[in-house]
């Protein structure tokens, strides 16, 4: 396959990674992510399966080699597996990896189909192993389904990495045992600082836990050695001697990692956000539905490269502060 013109932003960063949201809907209501009474997009506004596929092919033609399907919760969209199968046919023909981020609730039904579509690894969000704590945080009592989903993914031959948001006063005491549990099952785990995206009922400063503080606690319990492991994402990895596993740290607030950014995000409505933490946006839905979609799409991608900022500017430093951006993570794509 020939790349027509690689995606290169104004800071000479090669963009090769697309996080493609297929829906903003979710079957959980995690307190740090969205309000209980979340208003979701009208289904009529969401791109069709055909549009998502055509758009993804346009990205591959411009040098995107990795696509991560996201949401919301991508597996609540009924035709998501059809999209995965269609994109899986591009593996080895411009696309090097197709993967998924999920909360795990639907995996017991879909894990085998994802593996058959060509996925080899997926990320699963899991913030606690305490059932009551999970039900309170996610506002849904679905921890058993998530754990069954993890086992189903492993049984299907998928490599699983867990993503855990570090939350002060909620799961901070559980983090060491969660790491040990994950590594005992052969799973990598990555800790993430909570991000100030979208209005939620609680003040995020009450739950913001800098990973610098978590690292101090972990260093007292484990021997962490910097790892050369890289996935193309923002995590810095460490090998944990006592468990034999790998730990990742994603620090959007305490240690900015944007200098190596290689990704862009597209919402389920076709809005391209060059930066998770920026308001810059390009309308790909309009391009797809134009008279000459191929040319319009290419021009839109060129615009996105020109407006992609150097870095985000997240802060959680005072009570009552507005979020960095009004849109929720479930809208942009996690």
What separation in angstroms does the CA of 17 have from each of 51, 164, 210, 213, 218? Answer: 19, 22, 27, 30, 31
pLDDT interval class at 193 (50, 70, 90): confident
Going 165 to 107 to 199 to 274, the CA torsion angle's sign is positive
pTM of the shown model: 0.89
Residue 20: helix, strand or coil by DSSP?
strand
Q: What ranges in the chain are assigned the alpha helix state H? A: 49-61, 80-88, 107-117, 131-138, 143-155, 175-184, 211-221, 284-288, 293-307, 329-332
pLDDT band at 56 (very low <50, low <70, confident <90, very high): very high
DSSP, collapsed to helix, strand or coil, labels residue 248 as strand
**Predicted pLDDT at 326:** 46
- Using DSSP, state whether 246 is helix, strand or coil: strand
Specify whether the backbone of 54 is left (phi greater than 0), alpha (psi in -120 to 50) or beta. alpha
Count of other CB atoms within 10 angstroms of residue 88: 17
pLDDT(119) > 90: yes
Give the closest residue to 202 by CA, choosing from 35, 39, 327, 40.
35
Q: Which pLDDT tens digit goes with each residue over 276-292?
A: 766 788 999 999 999 99
User: Which residues does the annotation place in the binding site?
Assistant: 19, 26, 30, 32-33, 68, 72, 101, 125, 161, 195, 258, 261, 263-265, 275
List the one residue out of 47, 25, 19, 46 whose CA is nearest residue 276. 19
The whole-angstrom separation of Cα 87 and Cα 98 is 8
Q: How far apart are CA 284 and CA 290, in angstroms?
A: 10
Whether 230 shows a pLDDT value over 90: the answer reads: no
pLDDT(16) > 60: yes
- Topology of 17-332 in CATH? TIM Barrel (3.20.20)
pLDDT tens across 242-287, in order?
A: 999 999 998 765 555 566 678 899 999 999 988 776 678 899 999 9
Q: What's the confidence (pLDDT) of residue 220?
A: 92
Mean pLDDT for the stretch of residues 116-137: 96
Pick 129 or 216 by higher pLDDT: 129
DSSP 31: T
Which residue ranges make up the annotated binding site for [4Fe-4S] cluster?
26, 30, 33, 258, 261, 275
When the pLDDT of each residue in the chain is averaged and rounded to a whole number, the result is 87
Interval 309-327: pLDDT, tens: 775 555 555 555 544 444 4
- The whole-number pLDDT of residue 315 equals 53
Contact 73, 26 (CB under 8 A): yes
Binding-site annotation, residues for S-adenosyl-L-methionine: 32, 72, 125, 195
């Amino acid at each position: 396959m020939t790349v027509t013109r690689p995606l290169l932003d104004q800071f000479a960063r090669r963009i090769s990674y697309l996080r493609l949201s297929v829906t903003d809907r979710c079957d959980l209501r995690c307190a740090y992510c969205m309000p209980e009474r979340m208003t979701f997009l009208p289904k009529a506004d969401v791109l069709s399966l055909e549009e998502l596929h055509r758009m993804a092919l346009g990205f591959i033609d411009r040098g995107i080699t990795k696509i991560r399907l996201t949401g919301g919760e991508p597996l609540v969209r009924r035709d998501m597996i059809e999209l995965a199968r269609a994109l899986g046919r591009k593996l080895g023909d411009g696309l090097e990896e197709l993967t998924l981020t999920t909360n795990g609730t639907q995996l017991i039904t879909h894990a085998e189909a994802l593996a058959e579509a060509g996925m080899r690894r997926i990320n699963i969000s899991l913030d606690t192993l305490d059932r009551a704590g999970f039900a309170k945080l996610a506002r849904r009592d679905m921890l058993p389904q998530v754990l069954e989903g993890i086992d189903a993914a492993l049984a299907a031959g998928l490599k699983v990495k867990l993503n855990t948001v570090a939350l002060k006063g909620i799961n901070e005491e559980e983090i060491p045992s969660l790491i040990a549990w994950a590594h005992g099952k052969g799973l990598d785990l990555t800790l993430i600082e909570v991000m100030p995206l979208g209005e939620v009922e609680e003040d995020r400063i009450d739950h913001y836990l800098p990973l610098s503080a978590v690292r101090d606690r972990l260093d007292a319990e484990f021997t962490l050695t910097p790892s050369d492991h890289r996935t193309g994402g923002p995590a810095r990895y460490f090998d944990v001697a006592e468990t034999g596993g790998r730990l990742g740290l994603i620090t959007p607030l305490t240690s900015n990692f944007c200098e190596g950014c290689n990704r862009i995000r597209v919402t389920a409505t076709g809005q391209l956000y060059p930066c998770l933490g920026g308001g810059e946006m390009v309308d790909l839905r309009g391009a797809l539905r134009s008279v000459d979609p191929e040319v319009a799409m290419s021009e839109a991608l060129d615009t996105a490269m020109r407006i992609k900022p150097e870095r985000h500017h997240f802060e959680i430093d005072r009570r009552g502060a507005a979020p960095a951006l009004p849109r929720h993570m479930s809208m942009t794509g996690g």
